[in-house]
A = this chain, B = another copy of it.
Amino acid sequence: MSHDDCKAWCYSRQNPVVQPLLTDLYQITMAYAYWKSGKINDYAVFDLFFRKNPFQGEFTIFAGLEECIKFLERFQYSDSDIKYLKSTMPSSVDPGFFDYLKNINVNNVTIYAMQEGSVTFPRIPLLRVEGPLITVQLLETTLLTLVNYASLMATNAARYRMVAGKNITLLEYGLRRAQGPDGGLSASKYSYVGGFDGTSNVLAGKLFNIPVSGTHAHSYITSFTSIDDLQAKTLAHKQTGEVYDLLELASKYRDAIAGDLGSIVSEASSGELAALISYAIAFPERFTALVDTYDTKRSGILNFCAVALALNDVGYKAIGIRLDSGDLAYLSNAARDIFERLAIKYNIPWFARMIIVASNDINEETIISLNEQSHKINCFGIGTHLVTCQRQPALGCVYKMVEINGQPRIKLSQEVAKMNIPGKKNAYRLYGADGYALIDILQRSTEEEPQVKQKVLCRHPFQESKRAYVIPTRVEPLHKVYWKNGKVCEPLPTLTQIRDRVQESLKTLRNDHKRNLNPTPYKVAVSDDLYNFIHDLWLQNAPIGELS
């Protein structure tokens, strides 16, 4: 198999890095200690959940499920893995353990999960993983690493989408600043899921079928010094095929419009004009130009408009410009104004509607501030802040044992917020008559499902006095079985379907939960039965303190 085929083969299945050894060593040492102490048949339930929404927000998008399932589909220690583990673990480790590990599989593991792309909240399990204790413990780190960044990234992208509004095109441009090559690839994938329209990352386009986009860099402009650098100057008319001298046309238009723009032709860069003409000849149907290499107003926009008007004479419609520095609100208004005036002057209505892309160090706050200034930008290209999730670069999902051999488990903590909710649980989302989600409720798995139009007592998991009756108009069970008996048992949606799910799911959330500033927390409750179960267990396990 050639390396190319191999790469393609790997990727058609899964990122090759995602394999059983992509884990913390303590999972393996624990597995041995369990094995050694005869706990091979113990059966455990783990919840994978987070305790706090990221970005000072009040919601999170769950993503990464498909990668988790693909990981399970191929979960097996290879001979070289076993060889490595033998060389790393103490020589006193019983060789029988390595045979056990070599033959371990995930056929007895069951995974309940939320639908990928759903809005979710603290303490609701994203995954519930049941199965032989040793096996489910061995899955912990890999599942966490697959869910944590995917969900963080999708949430971040969804937040950008919300502040930008639905009519703005959002493009992910972060590959060069991402955390590692595959950090960049995951960023492209999950920003698309979260609501971006495309990426500059070509490999992401190829692997995940995400739209790719891009024009040119400043270096393209600076590589041309003058008109003399222009070798090809002609372009055939789109319809007639007649050959035109694009340089002559553009120069004519530049002279004709400089006054309209308040520019002086001699001050505009002729290297830039040459670069734009050459780019228009290469991409007459997709002519987008970076206009801030020298002086945006006096040179860039003037040269762009001259070339765009010349292209129009040759039967092509230019796409627009990209602004990568300066006052984006002001410059976008100035550019739009020029486009509109030239549209009238030359009677070319589409000229007024050309695209303005902005791309300099954009984050959520920049977009909010630009909105307040009423900019004329159609598209944002967003890099560093988006892909590194600068405001909070990690989501804190944890994976906690909640039951073993049918017995609930609780990990007490000094901090109440760090307590986990013990036992096997089901989760439901209760909706009101207006279609909005009212509350999520966790119940013991033995309880009846909440019923539509019936009173449901919802309690705060830790504060006794906080409780409310809710009468749901719709009840949505939040988990489905995705993996059982060694098989995927729920169809895995395509990336586009997951992306659609994000927007649908967000629509069911009231705006005050989603707003950027001081959003209202969405409530996650427990049933009365679960409340009592937790607190009984808590009291049983907590030692009585002694002050001295």
Contacts and interface: CB of A to CB of B under 8 A. Distances in A.
Interface of A: 1, 3-4, 6-11, 13, 15-19, 21-30, 32-34, 36-39, 42, 44, 46, 74, 78-81, 84-85, 88, 90, 92-93, 133, 137, 140-142, 144-146, 148-149, 173, 175-187, 200-203, 205-206, 212-220, 222-223, 225, 230-232, 267, 278-279, 281-286, 293-295, 298-299, 325-326, 384, 388-390, 393-397, 400-401, 404, 407, 409-414, 543
Contacts of A217: 26-27, 30, 137, 140
Given A84-B205, A282-B33, A282-B37, A149 B17 contact: no
A221 B191 CA distance: 38
Contacts of A25: 200-202, 205, 212-214
A325 B46 CA distance: 21
Contacts of A181: 15, 17-18, 22, 142, 145-146, 182, 186
A22 B222 contact: no
B173 A179 contact: no
A218 B26 CA distance: 11
Contacts of A214: 24-29
Given A24-B175, A28-B202, A216-B26, A283 B90 contact: yes
Nearest to A22: B203
Contacts of A298: 543
Nearest to A9: B6
A396 B282 CA distance: 31
Contact of A141 (B176, B219, B282): B176
Given A16-B16, A201-B22, A183 B177 contact: no
17 contacts: A4-B80, A7-B10, A7-B78, A10-B16, A15-B182, A22-B184, A23-B203, A25-B212, A29-B282, A32-B282, A36-B282, A90-B286, A148-B178, A179-B394, A181-B186, A388-B393, A390-B393
Contacts of A413: 325
B3 A7 contact: no
Given A33-B281, A222-B411, 10 more contacts: A6-B6, A7-B16, A22-B202, A24-B173, A33-B282, A42-B223, A84-B206, A137-B217, A149-B183, A183-B186
A146 B186 CA distance: 15
Contacts of A394: 177-179, 384, 388, 390
